[in-house]
Amino acid sequence: MTDDLTPESEGEELSELSAGDAKRDGATAPETAAARLAAALEVGDASHRLQAALTAGTRPNDAYVDVLVARCAVEPDFFVREMLTWALIRHDPVVAVDRVVQELTSPIAQARSQALHTLSKIGDARAWPSITSELLHDESDEVARAAWRTSAGLVPSTTEDRAALAVELAAEFGRGDRALRRSLSRALGMLEDVAGPVVAAATRNADEGVRIHALTTAHLLENPDADFDDAVIEARRIVALEAMPGAVEDAGEPAASEESEERPDASA
């Protein structure tokens, strides 16, 4: 039955089964269609899996949602995972969101990260309560990254909610490599003015890595079009200047010139 889903039959609808096929298999047509999709998504050729996901999204069927979500947790190919997410976006959001949020508590990191990615693409605010603090601080960098982006996109518009999220995100300053830090800065940037005070407070953190990351983010908040790497360079420059003896005093009180020191007192 898997052969029906090869590129040669890309126009065939996965759920297009005759009553005789379903009856012979002892299942309803939707159940059989879902089984065919599951089989197609397990073939060794990634291009065939990609085609199966594309077909499932082109002709949505609620019976496919479970299969698509389950495959997201184990699919090794990035492009196939993206197509699985696209296919889920094409389904009824009520059905898709209710099923996808269940993956947020999965012990499989890829299941959690892909579920967050999918929720960010669907953009349904009903998913917001499911994005927990545990996900924002997940030990997996990919899960945390996806949680930052998704939470910033789905957070309610109230100042209280956005400020609370900014505090959660700022707790991750200094984490990971360049790409991860850039992702966090972008997520905070999505919160705009609400993030400003929280980021400013982090620029005074005792940890140098946290200060540099916070200063980088502060620069990007003020200059949204600035390059991340340029912002990092500027942040490092500021931290280096702060570390110089007397830097703070010198910055606030310029030293008197030799001319002023040698000038005789007019009242003498």
Q: Please report whether residue 53 resides in a domain.
A: yes
Domain end (from 15, 46, 65)? 65
In tens, the pLDDT along 100-142 reads 999 999 999 999 999 999 999 999 999 999 999 999 999 999 9
Please state the pTM of the whole predicted model. Answer: 0.80
In this predicted structure, what is the pLDDT of residue 19?
39
11, 32, 65 — which closes off a domain? 65
Distances (CA, A) of 50 to 34, 46, 183: 16, 6, 27
- Evaluate whether residue 76 is within a structural domain: no
- Is residue 218 a part of any domain in this protein? yes
Domain ranges, residue 206: 159-244
Round to whole Å and give the CA distance between 8 and 10: 6
Specify if 45 maps to a domain: yes
Number of domains within the chain: 2
- Gap between the Cα atoms of 171 and 53, Å rounded: 38
Q: Is 234 domain-assigned? A: yes
pLDDT at site 109: 98
Residue 152 lies in a domain: no
Give a yes or no: residue 4 inside a domain.
yes
Q: What is the dihedral of CA 102, 107, 110, 111, to 10 degrees?
A: -20
- 174 in any annotated domain: yes
| Lowest model confidence (mean pLDDT) among 119-123, 236-240, 261-265 | 261-265
The mean per-residue pLDDT over the stretch 164-188 comes to 97
Residue with tokens 């949020």: 101
Taking only the tens place, the pLDDT of each residue in 53-108 is 999 999 999 999 999 999 999 999 999 999 999 999 999 999 999 999 999 999 99
**Among residues 144, 233, 157, 227, which one has the least CA distance to residue 192?**
157
Q: What are the pLDDT digits (tens) for 182-196? A: 999 999 999 988 999
Type of residue at 173: F
pLDDT at residue number 14: 54
- Among 65, 87, 109, the domain-final residue is 65
Q: Are 172 and 195 in contact, with CB atoms under 8 Å apart?
A: no
Q: Which two tokens stand for residue 261?
A: 């020191």
